[in-house]
Amino acid sequence: MELFYIYPESLPNSHARSTTVVKSVASLQEFYNLTLCAKKESLSGEEIGKIYDVSLDKAKLRFLSGDFWGLRSHLFFNERLRRVLPAKAVIFVRHLKTAEFLLKNRRDGWKIVFESHEIFYKTTLKPKLAAKLERMERFVYQNTDAIV
């Protein structure tokens, strides 16, 4: 079964999480048939590897657009992602909205692993947003196949 590492952002970028993603993919490609799915605006695998000082030679890269008629949204990326994922796959995702989307649209053969790197609803001072994030996180934590 193939492992899909999902990162709905462009690579490279200035966020520390991009380093974590690229270094994780570089390590995991040694053990798994791995595909990194990232935003279409990304550089090539070779260029990404040079920037992060790793080789991505064994990983497949799949770039998906998050745009539709000039509008940009994770929903467009997520919908395109859902359409390209095979019927059987292990899906590693660290983005909360993408995890929720995949879980709500999951196929029987998908195993979804969520990387819980922070408790989002505790990081905002906005009560309505905190309540929404808490519901989303609870849904993801209760329905994912594994949490790392």
**Structure tokens, 34:** 């791995």
Whole-number pLDDT of residue 80: 93
pLDDT digits (tens, 9 = 90+) for 16-55: 999 999 999 999 999 999 999 999 877 888 999 999 999 9
Length of the chain: 148
Whole-number pLDDT of residue 42: 77
What single-letter amino acid sits at 28? L
Under 8 Å between Cβ of 43 and 12 = yes
Give CA–CA dist 134/148, Å, rounded.
18
Whole-number pLDDT of residue 130: 75
Q: Which residues of the chain have pLDDT under 50?
A: none
